[in-house]
A and B are shown apart, each in its own frame.
Chain A
Amino acid sequence: MPTLHPAGGTSRARVAALAAAAGLLCAGGFAGLAPRQGTASSHREAPLISGQPQYDNTDVYAFVSPDKPDTTTLIANFIPFQDPAGGPNFSKFARDARYDLNVDNDGDSLPDLTYRFRFHDRLKNANTFLYNTGPVTSLDDPDLNFTQTYDLTLVRRVGGQVRSTHTLAGNAPVAPSNVGKASMPDYARLRAQAVRPLGDGTTSFAGQADDPFFLDLRVFDLLYGANLKEVGNDTLSGYNVNTVALQIPTRHLVTGHDPVIGVNSTVSRLSASGAYAQVSRLGSPLVNEVVVPRGKKDAFNASTPWQDAQFAGFVTDPELPKLIEKIYKIPAPPGPRKDLVQAFLTGVPGLNQPAHVRPAELLRLNTSVRPAAKPDRLGVLGGDKAGFPNGRRLTDDVVDIELQAVEGELLGKKNDLGDAVNANDAGFGTSFPYVAQPHSGSDVRGARKPGTKAAGTAGRGDGGKVNFLNAGATESTSGGEDGTISLAPVAAAAGAGAFLLTGGLLWLRRRRPSAGRHES
């Protein structure tokens, strides 16, 4: 029956109620419940925010395979902040995107090889929305209702122009999301089935994994002057990502006598017009955040390395050390920062700089440097030339390395900046694809996993010992007079200019608000 029946009551009560209703409408000088603001056929309100993390590239890794030194492993991660229990269908690769791993092997900053992943959805039983209908014991288990497969193609270019396209794999299986122990009692076995040898010595993998990046996003809260006691927590602990990984015979990747390759990952998505627009780009970690100012991030995401001269000024005259100087009173190294140009744009001469290099933001790896028997988390800064910024290994502590670099470590200005998170929450594998198993949907998020390495932070969780300015140190080489810099003025001064840092710093790493460019 109709709802708007006349209600009883005296006329005085009605008047009061109407006044109250009118008051509600006019509350705060703004009509509260006004007809104009309702959804209306004259004003179609389409979604302004859409949940679309599938196109978000989070990290790229490139390293000489430690257990197979004649091969190189390339890894790219997507879809950040996957809560393992948050619904596995959400964590699928997009069907309308191209996930590319690009390799420049002649230093001209144009991709010569593009390994392109394209994904397809498969639903065995359309009558259920369940991801799986019973325990899953193999990738072709009928109980695994929703699956994805991928096609892998290799695009070869000469001078930027496509020369040839080869299919390397078709209908290869994607390792499923780790729904939980009841659904997937032996997840490691499922994942092993998704590791695919492709016949030419290349091995491929796509699927869910633990997010291998480790850092304390709150390190930048410290720059705001926030709670100093919470340093040392791996913010990404317990979250999963989607990974694509390739292990490729190095001889397939390099050309001539130059062992240096430049690597990045891009995501392009299909537009309504049928073209592809590049919406995400990532090479070296954090460059998009630490180096490129916020207003240029979308432009950066849409651009190619060949166009990077436009961003060079942000490297030679970086914003971050000036802010740190302003807030923390640590003098910024004088510009122009040729050391950072080498670290971020050209590679370091004698280590990972190609013979004929065009400066561009690429992860540059010298494939002839043998893997370290005992990798140092600080990579080159720690005397381990097999690590970042010579490529990037899963264990490289890029936050500490980059903070130390921007503060002049490469100029001989020793410092020990860091975020007090020195290792990943989950242990990495010793063979391809190396990334840690994804957290299970039946895990409690944030719980430590077996195989977790020691964090290497003596004072972890103990605010008295660990702080922003010494947190990453393994050797005490602080530039301060007594090796210690007082935190007190840091907290006090942190307010000024702090907002600028949000544009440049890590917690934005995952965001990549981006735009694209035709790149067909």
Chain B
Amino acid sequence: MRPLLTGASVAGLVAALTLGSAVAFGRPSGERAAAAPAGAPAPGIPGLQKRLREQPRDAAGWASLGIAYVEQARVTADPAYYPKAEEVLHRSLREAPGNDGALAGLGALAAARHDFHGALRYADRALKANPYAQRAAAVRVDALVELGRYGDALAAARRADAVRPGVPVFTRLAYVRELRGEVAEARRVLGLARASATDRGDLAYIAVQLGELAWNDGDLGRAGREYAEALRLSPGHLPALDGEARVRAARGDTAGALAVRAGIVKRLPLPQYVTEYGELLESAGRRDEAERQYAVATAWARIARAGGVDADLETALSESDHGDTGDALRAARAEYRRRCPGARVRQCSVHAADALAWALHVNGRDGEALRYARQATATGYRRASFRFHLGLIEMALGERAAARRDLAGSLRRNPAFSPLWAPRAKAALDELGGAS
């Protein structure tokens, strides 16, 4: 086993943390801080803070500020806003017990911290206090999605759409449709969201989602245009940069993709971005540099765990491919327990199921892995890597026909789904005799 923390990777990690934190903490938001707070003329976080300094008994103001903090963390990926959000949301509840705004905010906060059961409980309480609450309905859909309860999520999203349509509901409705494989409907609803939105942050988010739909179908032209649109609306938008890097790499512009990815990890060296960067480097033959990136992801996860934070799905995937497979399996099992009611159900969080299937595979437990890989692909969600994982597991089990079908399927959907894994899918398919 190679040493986990080489001097180089530690220094790299420190550099990443320092850079990342400096950028994330110090940067004034380029997007709106928050929606207009409850009618006060000065919108945004500074306006709310000012108001609350003058009116500390204002429960609705505290709730708005808490939600604005959660939203700010979403926009800037800066989790330093979470403890602040928690404090002010509880303050709101002390001022007005049971108010739905604060409950919805606590639900959003729980979801952001990946406590999806907690998010669901808060959302339900908020909706009981106010059945028309739009944010609470949005949080409820989010929680059900993350827990893999896609049928319930669709019902909740439709109900929210019936009582309070709008961008927050449309974007969620589209994602549920996408996860169920209903891509045309997802695209239509995102089109409604785009026609309805005026906020640049909203519009950038919508463009990225439309880009993802195109990407998952291998439509590089359309995906590239949507990511570019998101970047025009919100310069530096990280998910859009991530999409741009994918499209560039898929088109063979490795140098351009590397430059974009370097910029991303400089801004926010999260494991998923660091791993993507490493895989791109590895695919370009720069294995040593890639190893350093993988080590950063691993070190990151260790430090996070030491801080009482469980590894994320991305960490599980990254460890499966580039780190400690035992760690990967532990993380994947934990995530699966959180997001799936059990192995026997047909529907479950496709992301958790895929991560667990893959972690089992890299630990040589393909017999166990198969049912999770099937779970991950059962909803119709179009994700080439899920299909690729299923194909390799089938191959390892000697199910050659199924493996050929699924590997070919992954490449047919998006022939360049990953600079590192798409060529491996091709190689495996060739080994099986090609796509028939």
Most chain B CB inside 10 Å of its own CB: which residue of A20, A50, A509: A50
B384 to chain A, nearest CB (A): 13
When distances are taken between beta carbons in the complex, the residues of chain B under 8 Å from A81 are 36, 39, 41, 43
Q: Is the C-beta of A34 less than 8 angstroms from some C-beta in chain B? A: yes
Given A9-B11, A37-B82, A38-B272, decide whether A272 and B61 contact each other with a Cβ distance below 8 A. no
Q: Which of A51-59, A156-164, A464-472 contacts B (4 or more CB under 8 A)?
A: A51-59
Contact of A509 among B21, B39, B79 (CB under 8 A): B39
A287 to chain B, nearest CB (A): 16
Task: Flag if A4 contacts B41 (CB, 8 Å).
Answer: no
- Chain B, range 215-237, C-beta contacts under 8 Å to A: none
A377 to chain B, nearest CB (A): 23
- Chain B, range 94-126, C-beta contacts under 8 Å to A: 95-96, 99-101, 108, 111-114
DSSP majority for the B interface? helix
Q: Which of A88-96, A107-115, A350-358 contacts B (4 or more CB under 8 A)?
A: A88-96
Q: Is the C-beta of B18 less than 8 angstroms from some C-beta in chain A? A: yes
* A433 CA to B204 CA, complexed, in Å: 38
* A25 CA to B16 CA, complexed, in Å: 13
Q: Is the C-beta of A46 less than 8 angstroms from some C-beta in chain B? A: yes
Q: Which of B158-166, B357-365, B366-374, B420-428 contacts A (4 or more CB under 8 A)?
A: B158-166
* A43 CA to B101 CA, complexed, in Å: 22
A248 to chain B, nearest CB (A): 30
B 34-63 binary contact with A (CB < 8 Å = 1; else 0): 111011110100000000001101111100
* A498 CA to B133 CA, complexed, in Å: 24
Q: Is the C-beta of B205 less than 8 angstroms from some C-beta in chain A? A: yes
When distances are taken between beta carbons in the complex, the residues of chain B under 8 Å from A411 are none
- Chain A, range 1-53, C-beta contacts under 8 Å to B: 1-7, 9, 11, 14, 17-18, 20-22, 24-26, 28, 30-53
Task: Flag if B265 contacts A21 (CB, 8 Å).
Answer: no
Task: Flag if B168 contacts A46 (CB, 8 Å).
Answer: yes
Q: Is the C-beta of B312 less than 8 angstroms from some C-beta in chain A? A: yes
Task: Flag if A502 contacts B61 (CB, 8 Å).
Answer: yes
Counted as pairs of residues, one from A and one from B, with CB atoms less than 8 Å apart, the total is 328
Task: Flag if B114 contacts A43 (CB, 8 Å).
Answer: yes
Given A40-B314, A50-B166, A510-B39, decide whether A221 and B55 contact each other with a Cβ distance below 8 A. yes
When distances are taken between beta carbons in the complex, the residues of chain B under 8 Å from A96 are 192, 195-196
Task: Flag if A37 contacts B308 (CB, 8 Å).
Answer: no
Task: Flag if A515 contacts B67 (CB, 8 Å).
Answer: no
* A14 CA to B296 CA, complexed, in Å: 14
A279 to chain B, nearest CB (A): 6
Q: Which of A186-194, A293-301, A306-314, A337-345 contacts B (4 or more CB under 8 A)?
A: A293-301
Q: Is the C-beta of B24 less than 8 angstroms from some C-beta in chain A? A: yes
- Chain B, range 289-312, C-beta contacts under 8 Å to A: 289, 292-293, 296, 300-301, 303-304, 306-312
B116 to chain A, nearest CB (A): 9
- Chain A, range 481-520, C-beta contacts under 8 Å to B: 495, 498-500, 502-503, 507-511, 513-518
Task: Flag if A33 contacts B165 (CB, 8 Å).
Answer: no
Task: Flag if B198 contacts A54 (CB, 8 Å).
Answer: yes
Q: Is the C-beta of B326 less than 8 angstroms from some C-beta in chain A? A: no
Q: Is the C-beta of B244 less than 8 angstroms from some C-beta in chain A? A: no
When distances are taken between beta carbons in the complex, the residues of chain B under 8 Å from A214 are none
When distances are taken between beta carbons in the complex, the residues of chain B under 8 Å from A168 are none
* A272 CA to B193 CA, complexed, in Å: 9
Task: Flag if A269 contacts B71 (CB, 8 Å).
Answer: no
Task: Flag if A517 contacts B12 (CB, 8 Å).
Answer: no
Q: Is the C-beta of A150 less than 8 angstroms from some C-beta in chain B? A: no
Q: Which of B171-179, B340-348, B395-403, B406-414 contacts A (4 or more CB under 8 A)?
A: B171-179
Task: Flag if B11 contacts A49 (CB, 8 Å).
Answer: no
When distances are taken between beta carbons in the complex, the residues of chain B under 8 Å from A146 are none
Task: Flag if B130 contacts A31 (CB, 8 Å).
Answer: no
* A235 CA to B17 CA, complexed, in Å: 45
Q: How large is the interface on A (under 10, 10 to 19, 20 to 34, 35 or more residues)?
A: 35 or more
Task: Flag if B314 contacts A48 (CB, 8 Å).
Answer: no
Q: Is the C-beta of B88 less than 8 angstroms from some C-beta in chain A? A: no
Q: Is the C-beta of B378 less than 8 angstroms from some C-beta in chain A? A: no
Task: Flag if A50 contacts B35 (CB, 8 Å).
Answer: yes
Count residues on chain B whose CB falls below 8 Å from chain A CBs. Answer: 125
Task: Flag if B313 contacts A275 (CB, 8 Å).
Answer: no
When distances are taken between beta carbons in the complex, the residues of chain A under 8 Å from B355 are 42
Contact of B40 among A95, A298, A495, A507 (CB under 8 A): A507
Task: Flag if B20 contacts A33 (CB, 8 Å).
Answer: yes
Contact of B309 among A36, A41, A270, A301 (CB under 8 A): A36
Task: Flag if B79 contacts A271 (CB, 8 Å).
Answer: no
A40 to chain B, nearest CB (A): 6
Q: Is the C-beta of A431 less than 8 angstroms from some C-beta in chain B? A: no
Q: Is the C-beta of A131 less than 8 angstroms from some C-beta in chain B? A: no
Task: Flag if A28 contacts B83 (CB, 8 Å).
Answer: yes
Q: What is the chain A residue whose CB lies nearest that of B116?
A: A43
Q: Is the C-beta of A263 less than 8 angstroms from some C-beta in chain B? A: no
Task: Flag if B60 contacts A508 (CB, 8 Å).
Answer: yes
Task: Flag if A1 contacts B74 (CB, 8 Å).
Answer: no
Q: Is the C-beta of B199 less than 8 angstroms from some C-beta in chain A? A: yes
Contact of A1 among B9, B21, B262 (CB under 8 A): B262
When distances are taken between beta carbons in the complex, the residues of chain A under 8 Å from B162 are 271, 273, 275, 277, 516, 518
- Chain B, range 184-220, C-beta contacts under 8 Å to A: 189, 192, 195-199, 201-202, 205
Q: Is the C-beta of A61 less than 8 angstroms from some C-beta in chain B? A: no
Task: Flag if B202 contacts A277 (CB, 8 Å).
Answer: no
Given A14-B14, A37-B112, A277-B162, decide whether A48 and B135 contact each other with a Cβ distance below 8 A. yes
Q: Can you show 19 pairs from A to B with CB atoms below 8 A apart?
A: A3-B15, A25-B303, A35-B300, A36-B113, A42-B313, A48-B108, A48-B139, A49-B67, A50-B166, A50-B167, A52-B166, A227-B54, A269-B166, A272-B192, A279-B164, A298-B131, A301-B132, A500-B96, A511-B39
Excluding A30-B83, A46-B142, 18 further A-B contacts by CB distance (< 8 Å) are A6-B7, A7-B14, A17-B14, A33-B79, A34-B304, A35-B304, A36-B113, A42-B352, A45-B74, A48-B135, A49-B34, A50-B166, A298-B133, A499-B57, A499-B59, A508-B39, A513-B134, A515-B164
Q: List the 9 closest pairs (A to B, CB-CB), nearest first.
A: A515-B132, A510-B39, A298-B132, A51-B199, A4-B12, A271-B165, A6-B8, A37-B79, A38-B270
- Which residue numbers of A lie inside 8 Å of B, CB to CB? 1-7, 9, 11, 14, 17-18, 20-22, 24-26, 28, 30-55, 80-81, 89-90, 92, 94-96, 217, 221, 224, 226-227, 235-236, 239, 269-273, 275, 277, 279, 294-295, 298-299, 301-302, 495, 498-500, 502-503, 507-511, 513-518
- Which residue numbers of B lie inside 8 Å of A, CB to CB? 7-21, 24, 32, 34-36, 38-41, 43, 54-55, 57-61, 67-68, 70-71, 73-74, 77, 79-80, 82-83, 95-96, 99-101, 108, 111-114, 129-135, 138-139, 142, 145-146, 158, 161-173, 175, 189, 192, 195-199, 201-202, 205, 238-239, 258, 262, 265-266, 268-272, 274, 277, 281, 289, 292-293, 296, 300-301, 303-304, 306-315, 351-352, 355
